[in-house]
Structure 1
């Protein structure tokens, strides 16, 4: 054995002795620890920290506060409700008492011009243009016949004038309308030393007579259909076309007034009236879309039941029973028309008159079977209603008698 191998064996022996000493030391320490610790003790993981809840939202804080202060919350709610009702009543009463008058020039002359197109002698139309004249407008009523012109002049109002418009002859109608345009363009003097002023074309009001006799489609001849569509639809469209350039240049407003109770329900025997109403509604919708690009407002007034004084007096004289439900005063319609004429951005659709909005919703959302049951289909023949309502009264009152019977049956 060489010296190198002896040295290597000696080093290995020393290393093994040191390792055995270290191992015996750790075993003795472990034995002492086992003597101090219980044998069945196991490691237990500490519990996780409690989860923090997110902060309450504003709604939760408000709900908790209201639960803690129920008496104060009840008093606050009662105060808000009563205050809102009081404010609504106050605003409505103030709005009803507000004076609505057209603008005048510095010299006191009338400057706003309104054109009314419709059945001249109809009580609703005549009451409308007379009210507009009283409010300070210069009112021109389109008269296509000499009888209509004489009827307008018989009202004896200085600023209520007939506007002759021959729709049968387009060239004559253009010449007549050219005179109206020249009237708007030239200067006017209220008196000799007054400051000159121009007339402002404020709006055109279309009041077509959409009423017709109650008859089934089988009993309505083609001539009656043609007369109704020509007189009530085509004349309205032709008149509007003639005035369109003037309307666009003056940014005048266009208002269409049509009774909507019977057409909304689409009752049997009212095919002509429903067809005329649908045609006019489609026309005014397209007209509004086209004139919107020219910054011209178009409004559709869907009328309900109104109390027209002249018609009411005639009905009482003829012994017509008083309706169970009170009709809307005619002043409500006049105020709404004035508001639409002077508003910068009037609403697209106006529901004015009792039953207008309610029957519109019913006709659009309820099934026809339910509407027929509400109207008492099968209980009373339609001919009986025709015999009870005189035709001239129904036409003169814009169908107010028909609406009253609808509401009584409903």
Structure 2
């Protein structure tokens, strides 16, 4: 074998080796491609990139932080709860101590006028207009009779004045209203050299005598129904109609105060009281809807068990046992009335007195059979005999429920 033949053989072996290596490499690459691409597709494609998770939201981040710092979170929540309760108690205590006084003119004279219409000699009404006079208001009390006018003047208060309004004589009532409007429109001088000022009609307060002696419907005659509706409902509506033009002109607040415990429960023997309350509530709702577009607010005060000192002292002398639960102090009602008079947007409904809100919820949601059982069905005659009309006027219809609690 020649040298050329050996060189040729060696070159052929090297070429075969290189060809085998290239073939094995391509087979390996082809195998990987077959694994990546589906069997039914003739084209090869690369696998999709892995999906990235979206960034966590603020809520998820907060939850993760809370789970990692549970001890710190519990301490923070406890601090916020105790701090909120403490702040609420502090604000309430401060509001109770805050002095509520009516505004005065530059010369120091009184300038805010309040008109009260209702049962003039009622302990609640008397306490209300006397308190408003002490707080710096010029208080006019609507007197339908000469006896009411004499009763108001007997209080001997300079800024507590009767406003004679005879509803049986429309012309005389209109004349009296014209005098009242002239009083508001003209200027007043407190003393020589003082700057003149005008009176501001702040509020018109209705305190109708919505109470009635407990009796069954069978014993109520048509004359008694007519007298009750005329005195308690129609007089209130007629008085409101007389003052409406002045109320609109001065944007005065309108307040209606009615007892709510007995009408909310609707016990037997209180048909007149429930009917009067329903009529006054419907009238107030319609009046509020009509006056709201004109910028006049109407507030309904639903009264519960309120401790009136004059009534409590009389009951103590008569030997009436104390109620099981303490009544709400009268000052809370006075403060609420003042806040409603001076607020820019007072609430539509105010619940003042123990049981006002609770019994309204009970009367609206609890079945009547359960309420009758709670009040002692079968002992209604005892309730009717024990409760006096004077006690109802003083406690604002809460003694009926107190009698039930005592008997239980």
Partners of 2:26 and 2:194 in 1: CA distance: 124
Write out aligned runs for 1:209-288 (5 A): 209-288=209-288
Cα pair 1:302 1:349 within 8 Å, conserved: yes
Say whether 1:43 aligns with 2:34. Answer: yes
Consecutive unaligned residues of structure 1, counting only runs of 5 or more, are 1-27
For these two proteins, the number of residue pairs brought into alignment is: 380
Report which stretch shifted further, 398-407 or 292-301.
398-407
Partner of 1:25: none
Sort the Cα spacing of 1:41 and 1:301 in 2 relative to 1 into closer, same or farther, 3 A. Answer: closer
Write out aligned runs for 1:394-405 (5 A): 394-405=392-403
How far did 1:407 drift? 5.6
Say whether 1:382 aligns with 2:373. Answer: no
How far did 1:48 drift? 5.6
| Secondary structure, aligned partner of 2:36 | coil
| Secondary structure, aligned partner of 2:226 | helix
Say whether 1:356 aligns with 2:347. Answer: no
How far did 1:49 drift? 4.5
Partners of 1:346 and 1:401 in 2: CA distance: 30
Sort the Cα spacing of 1:173 and 1:45 in 2 relative to 1 into closer, same or farther, 3 A. Answer: same
| Secondary structure, aligned partner of 2:219 | coil
Partner of 2:301: 301
Q: TM-score, normalised by structure 1?
A: 0.87
Partners of 2:60 and 2:403 in 1: CA distance: 53
Partner of 1:128: 128
How far did 1:250 drift? 1.0
Partners of 1:41 and 1:72 in 2: CA distance: 54
Consecutive unaligned residues of structure 2, counting only runs of 5 or more, are 1-18, 38-46
Say whether 1:392 aligns with 2:390. Answer: yes
Say whether 1:52 aligns with 2:52. Answer: yes
Sort the Cα spacing of 1:45 and 1:108 in 2 relative to 1 into closer, same or farther, 3 A. Answer: same
Deviation per CA, 1:289-325, whole angstroms, max 9, x where unpaired?
1111221111111111101111111111111111111
How far did 1:56 drift? 2.0
Partner of 2:64: 64
Sort the Cα spacing of 1:397 and 1:34 in 2 relative to 1 into closer, same or farther, 3 A. Answer: closer
Cα pair 2:210 2:232 within 8 Å, conserved: yes
Partner of 1:10: none
How far did 1:361 drift? 1.6
Cα pair 1:305 1:403 within 8 Å, conserved: no
Report which stretch shifted further, 251-260 or 390-399.
390-399
Partners of 2:210 and 2:32 in 1: CA distance: 99
RMSD, aligned α-carbons? 2.4
Cα pair 2:210 2:258 within 8 Å, conserved: yes
| Secondary structure, aligned partner of 2:34 | coil
Sort the Cα spacing of 1:241 and 1:159 in 2 relative to 1 into closer, same or farther, 3 A. Answer: same
Partners of 2:338 and 2:100 in 1: CA distance: 7
Sort the Cα spacing of 1:153 and 1:253 in 2 relative to 1 into closer, same or farther, 3 A. Answer: same
Sort the Cα spacing of 1:82 and 1:35 in 2 relative to 1 into closer, same or farther, 3 A. Answer: closer
